[in-house]
Amino acid sequence: MISALPTVDDTFSTEVGVILMGLDAERLLAGLYLASLAVDPTIVTLLVDRVRHGAAGPVTLDALAAAGVSKWRAAAAALDASGRPEPGPAPLRQAWSQAFRKLGALGIGQNRSATTVYLTACWLRREDIGKYATAREQARGWQGH
């Protein structure tokens, strides 16, 4: 399908974003946490995959996802207060570009591009991320408000 192909002027973050949108909530949240440690979202994604396969020493995907839930909860309220990304049938790349620009305009993660990329993916997938975070918190008896 021709419309699914990238355009020549799509940004690097859009192409990375399209890939990230296919990850499950646990890996997105783990990446969100690790994104604060690196600028390149590709390196973050590769590190999450290494952790997932047990090749990163004592670090676990579960621990990274838990830390990612905390980062997501801290950012989600500010993101939602700014207005959610426009829903609808917009092509994925277009929706990504709009949400990524909005995050940049808000100054969220501006100096850390991996953080901005992962926050954008989590924001666009906020329903899945929210369900995962809530289920995780309920399973651990979280009583926060």
Look at residue 130 in the predicted model and tell me its pLDDT: 93
Q: Mark the ranges of the chain whose per-residue pLDDT is less than 70.
A: 1-10, 12, 84-90, 109-112, 142-145
Look at residue 24 in the predicted model and tell me its pLDDT: 94
State the SS3 of the chain.
CHHHCCCCCCCHHHHHHHHHCCCCHHHHHHHHHHHCCCCCHHHHHHHHHHHHCCCCCCCCHHHHHHHHHHHHHHHHHHHHHCCCCCCCCCCHHHHHHHHHHHHHHHCCCCCCHHHHHHHHHHHHCHHHHHHHHHHHHHHCCCCCC
Look at residue 51 in the predicted model and tell me its pLDDT: 92
Q: Domain ranges in the chain? A: 11-139
Look at residue 9 in the predicted model and tell me its pLDDT: 61
Look at residue 64 in the predicted model and tell me its pLDDT: 93
* pTM of this structure: 0.79
